[in-house]
Amino acid sequence: MAKVSLIVPAYNVEPYLVECMESITRQTLQDIEIICINDGSTDGTLGILKRYAEKDPRIILIDKENGGYGIGMNMGMEVATGEYIGIVEPDDFVPVNMFGDLYEIAKEKDLDFVKADFYRFERASNGDMFLTYNHLDRKNEHYNQVFDPSHTPQAIRFIMNTWSGIYRKAFLDEYHIRHNETPGASFQDNGFWFQTFAFAKRGMIIDKPYYMNRRDNPNSSVKNVQKIYCINVEYDHIRDVLMEHPETWERFKTYYTLKRFHNSVATLRRISNEFKRDYVERFSKEMKRAKELGEMDEELFTAAERDNLHLLINQPAVYYKLKALPMNNGPSSINNNFKQIKAELDKIKRSKSYRVGKMIMYIPVRLKRLAKRIYKKLNKMRKGYQK
C-alpha cells in the first residue's frame, strides 16, 4: 500500500502536462502511486503520459474514451490503493515537499483530511510568474487545529477546492464520497468538496501555501462562457446527497444555500451575455424556493448580499438590469444603459406593489441603494469619456 495515491485527470493539457508530471514524480515522499486518467484527449496528452509511465513504475495509466471529469476521477479513486488520496490538476503543479508534509501531519493527527493554503498564478508571455496567495480561512479561525467539519457548517465559507490537501481513503470509502458523473458537466469537484466537509470528523487546515493553481489556461471550466447551468445541476446533486442524511442536511442546509448563491453569482459573471437573462430567472426561482423551504438564513449574508438577494427574489427583471445587464463601453452605450436602468426603476415606482404591502418595507430602500451604486459607476464611466 502506498502512503499517498495521486490522481491526475487529464484532457487536452499538452502545453502544461510536463511541468505537472515533473513536480509530482520528484516529490520527496517517494512512497506514492500516481494514477493518470487520459479522458479521450485529442492532442499530445496521452503520448506524454505514456513516456512518463514507461520511466516510472509508480505511474498507473488509464486511457479511456471522453466521458467527463467525474467519471475519470471516480475511476482513479477505485483503482487507488494509497492510505491517503491527493488530486493534482494537470495544468497545475506542486512543490516537491507538499505531499510529504501533508502526509506527516495527517498521520500525526489521525486526520480524515488535511488541506493547506495555496497560490494562484499566471504566466506572462516572457515567462514571468504572477502569484496570488489564497487563504482557505479568510477569518483565520480554524488554522492549525483539529476540528470536526461535520459539526462546523461555517467551514463551508472556506475557499472551495479539492486539490490543496489529501483525504483518507478509508473515510472516502466509508461515506461513499465520489464525484457526480453527469456527462458533459463541469464543476463536479463542488460535490466532492461539500461531502468531505459534511462527513469528516477530524480535519485540519494549515496556513502554509503549497499548491500552485494555474489561472491562465483558456480551456479551464472557470473561463468557459458556454457552460451555463452546470453549477446549478451540481448543487442539485449536492442537495440530493445531503438530504439522504437528515441530521447532516439540517446542520448544513443554510450554508449550502449561501454557497449556492455565491457560486451562482460567479456563474452569472462568467457566462455569455446572451444567456444572462434566462439565468437570472432560474437563479431567482432557486433562491425563492430555498427561502420558502426554510433553507436560507439571511443573517449569513452580508448587508449588500441581502439587498441583492431580496431584489433577485422579488424583482428578477430589475436584478438583471442592475447586476447582469452588459455594461458596454462608449458614451452612447453608457447612456443607453443608464436610461434602461432608470426606466426600470421608474416603472417600479409607479407600480402598486411599490406603494402597498410588504414591498414597501424593503424594495424602495434596497433599490435606492443598489441604484445609487450603479448610477455612480455609470457616471464615473461617463466622465471618463468626456475627458
**pLDDT tens sequence across 39-70:** 999 999 999 999 999 999 999 999 999 998 99
Instruction: Give pLDDT, residue 188.
Output: 85
Tally of domains within the chain: 2
Q: Which of 129, 300, 139 is nearest to 205 (CA)?
A: 139
Q: Are residues 270 and 153 in the same domain?
A: no
pTM for the model stands at: 0.86
Give me the pLDDT at residue 215, please: 87
The stretch 363-374 carries a mean pLDDT of 59
- Note whether residue 112 is domain-resident: yes
Same domain, 108 and 135: yes
Comparing CA positions, the residue from 38, 56, 165 lying closest to residue 114 is 165
For residue 339, what pLDDT band results from cuts at 50, 70 and 90?
low
DSSP for 149-208, written as a single string: GGG-GGGGGSPP-SSSEEEEHHHHHHTT------TT---THHHHHHHHHHH-SSEEEEEE
Residues 252 and 150 both lie in one domain: no
Looking at the structure, do residues 249 and 185 belong to the same domain, yes or no?
no
Range of the domain at 284: 230-386
Residue 223 within a domain:
no
Cell numbers given for 69:
471529469
Taking all residues of the chain, what is their mean pLDDT, rounded to a whole number?
88
C-alpha 7: how far from chain center: 19
Whether 357 is in a domain gets the answer: yes
Q: Say yes or no: 39 and 169 in one domain.
A: yes
Element (H, E) at 17: helix 14-25
Which residue in this structure is represented by grid cell 499538452?
Answer: 14
Does residue 222 lie in a domain region?
no
Q: Is residue 319 part of a domain?
A: yes
pLDDT digits over 313-327, tens only? Answer: 999 999 998 888 765
**Claim to verify: residue 234 and residue 99 sit in the same structural domain:** no
Asked if the structure places residue 209 within a domain, the reply is yes
Whether 78 and 168 share a structural domain:
yes
DSSP character string of 33-83:
EEEEEEES-SSSHHHHHHHHHHH-TTEEEEEE----HHHHHHHHHHH--SS
Q: Say what the pLDDT of residue 29 is.
A: 99
Q: For cell 451562482, what's the residue?
A: 264
The CATH number assigned to the domain holding 192 equals 3.90.550.10
Q: Between helices 14-25 and 45-55, what is the axis angle to 10°?
A: 20
Residue 125: pLDDT band with limits 50, 70, 90:
confident
> Which residue matches cell numbers 497545475?
92
**Looking at per-residue confidence, does 359 or 173 come out higher?**
173
- 288's CB contacts (< 8 A; 6+ apart) are 313
Domain boundary (214, 246, 279) is at 214
Chain-centre distance for alpha carbon 285: 21
Residues 15 and 108 in one domain: yes
Q: What is the dihedral of CA 313, 324, 267, 217, to 10 degrees?
A: -170
Nine-digit cell string for 180: 457526480
Question: What is the number of helices (H) and of strands (E) in the chain?
Answer: 14, 8
Residue 221 is assigned to a structural domain of this protein: no
**Which range has the worst mean pLDDT, 35-39, 294-298, 360-364?**
360-364
63 φ/ψ angles, rounded to the nearest 5 degrees? -110, 115
Q: Quick check: is 219 in a domain?
A: no
Query: 179, 214, 249: which is the final residue of a domain?
Result: 214
The pLDDT-based confidence of 223 (bands split at 50, 70, 90) is very low
CA dihedral 103, 109, 114, 115 (to 10 degrees): -100
Of 187, 214, 241, the residue that ends a domain is 214
Is residue 71 domain-shared with residue 138, that is, in the same domain?
yes
Whether the pLDDT of residue 370 is over 80: the answer is no
User: Does 377 lie in the same domain as 256?
Assistant: yes
